[in-house]
Structure 1
Amino acid sequence: MDRECLASALLDHDIGMTIVATRSIDEWRFQERAVAPLVAILFNLGSQQVTDNGVADEIGRIASEFNSVPVVILADTEDPAQILKALECGARGYIPSSVGINVCVEAINLAAAGGIFVPGSSVLSIRHLISSGSRDIQSLTDMFTLRQAEVADALRRGKANKIIAYELNLRESTVKVHIRNIMKKLKATNRTEVAYKMNDRKSG
């Protein structure tokens, strides 16, 4: 969602705040005197990731400069590693673009009230990783995102897409997307080859 559409959607929900959509903090400074004091900063990353070059530094800079104003990240990915990195940089919330506008509004209000918002599905993913105690998955995060590592490990164990989706609290279509990305990274042509390469990697 681009910033103008997002601003319009937030205005339609009458969240009780003045909405100012800008391309950057520097652009906002030109309008600073004409708008009310900041209550929250919604940083729309779009398809960028927190770990992309310069993004984490920018989040940290904004969070540090406006330390009394919560910074909330809006991004396309729900990868727990990205969420944790954003929080480490000083963000007070992380909203996946897949959620509805109502959740977005509540997340902003929560951050403005002093809380921290993260999507429940990502919390469950982190919990699943910790409770499983899977060193195999942790060892894969140098090549894959945390979600991809979980799916890759499940493929190695021969699990079907429906089972993977159920265990990881994902849609089956999302599992298929992860599998395609895993195949690209491993240069595999099918899931059987993925399982073979994963087992070979583990034994190596």
Structure 2
Amino acid sequence: MLGGQGPVESVVNFHGTRSANRSLVVLDNRALDRECFAQSLTSHKIGMEVLAFGTIEDWKAEKDLHPPLSAILLNVGGCKITDALVADEIKKLTSEFRTTPVVVLADTDDLTQILKALEYGARGYIPSSVGIDVCVEAIGLALAGGIFVPASSVLAMRQTIASGGEAARPMAGLFTSRQAEVAQALRRGKANKIIAYELNLRESTVKVHIRNIMKKLKATNRTEVAYKINDLFPGEMNAA
């Protein structure tokens, strides 16, 4: 979660033999959440000191007092990875700490959000629906050089591939199948008459679909629709 409330720190020491050699930083501006999560990790004794901070700047002010950083776990809570502030935070962390794995913890296992997190450089994505044992394994995998994603996202990818890309597309969660087809045509800059001809629709029906698409995207014109679809679903153009 972004936007800390000052240099508030919670330090929890693992009791493993290597606790003085490295540390794991948990970033979350919600004090209770980060402290509870740190305590849960402590109970699993994974051999690191857990440092829980509101922001990475808070950690920097104290970093000389703690063991070298080995991993960062960023809890964004219910925020979307595609939100500008969240996206910028992930990019900033992965860019600044190139040799340190950054793992994202979030409240959703939406495939689009997971792929975005990985695109921004995260070395893992943990949905809050999983248990603490899975979290520990995910952190360990990131430290070993791997990338963790939830099983649900792997199954969604498999379904997409098996169906030729027609099922489980990110756009399907926002539009009806017909609206998605019209949206793709708008994205390519096609005129209403062409869209109507290609989709075997009346031009008046196409206009109704466009109005509904604009309403869902909170767009005021066709150009804005195309822009927002490109921003939300960058992979859809090639998939269609």
In 1, Cα distance between equivalents of 2:167 and 2:105 = 30
Q: Which runs of 5+ in 1 are unaligned?
A: 154-184, 186-204
Q: Provide the rounded CA distance (Å) in 1 between the counterparts of 2:137 and 2:112.
A: 23
Structure exhibiting the larger radius of gyration computed from Cα positions: 2
C-alpha contact 2:101 2:143 (8 A) present in aligned 1: yes
Residue 128 to residue 2, structure 1, CA distance change in 2 (3 Å): same
Cα offsets for 1:7-29 (capped at 9, x unmatched): 11001111111100001100111
How big is the alpha-carbon RMSD for the aligned residues of Structure 1 and Structure 2? Answer: 2.2
Superposed displacement of residue 135, structure 1: 3.7
1:43-192 equivalences under 5 Å are 43-135=74-166, 138=169, 141=171, 144=174
TM-score (norm 1): 0.67
1:39 aligns with 2:73: no
Once residues 167 and 99 of structure 2 are traced to their aligned partners in structure 1, the CA distance between those partners, rounded to angstroms, is 40
CA distance in 1, matches of 2:73, 2:93: 11
Structure 1 equivalent of residue 48 of structure 2: 17
Matched residue count:
148
In the alignment, residue 21 of structure 1 is paired with which amino acid?
A
Q: CA-to-partner distance for each residue in 1:149-193, whole Å, 9 max, x for gaps?
A: 7xx76xxxxxxxxxxxxxxxxxxxxxxxxxxxxxxx7xxxxxxxx
State the distance in 1 between where 2:104 and 2:37 align: 13
| Percent identity over paired residues | 55
| Secondary structure of the structure 2 residue equivalent to 1:125 | helix
CA distance in 2, matches of 1:62, 1:79: 22
* Counterpart code for 1:66: F
TM-score, scaled to structure 2: 0.58
The 10-residue stretch of structure 1 (74-83 or 123-132) with the greater mean CA deviation from structure 2: 123-132
Q: 1:133 to 1:40 in 2, by over 3 A?
A: same
Q: List structure 1 segments (4+ residues) > 3 angstroms apart after TM superposition.
A: 134-138
Aligned 8 A contact 2:160 2:167 in 1: no
Query: Do 2:109 and 2:153's aligned partners in 1 also have CA atoms closer than 8 Å?
Result: yes
Hey, which of these two has a bigger chunk of strand by percent?
2
Aligned residue number for residue 184 of structure 2: none
Q: Larger % of helix: which?
A: 1
- Cα offset for 1:142? 7.4
Q: Which amino acid aligns with 2:131?
A: G
Shift of 1:53: 2.2
Q: Secondary structure at the match of 1:130?
A: helix
Q: Write the distance in 2 (CA, Å) between the matches of 1:44 and 1:119.
A: 16
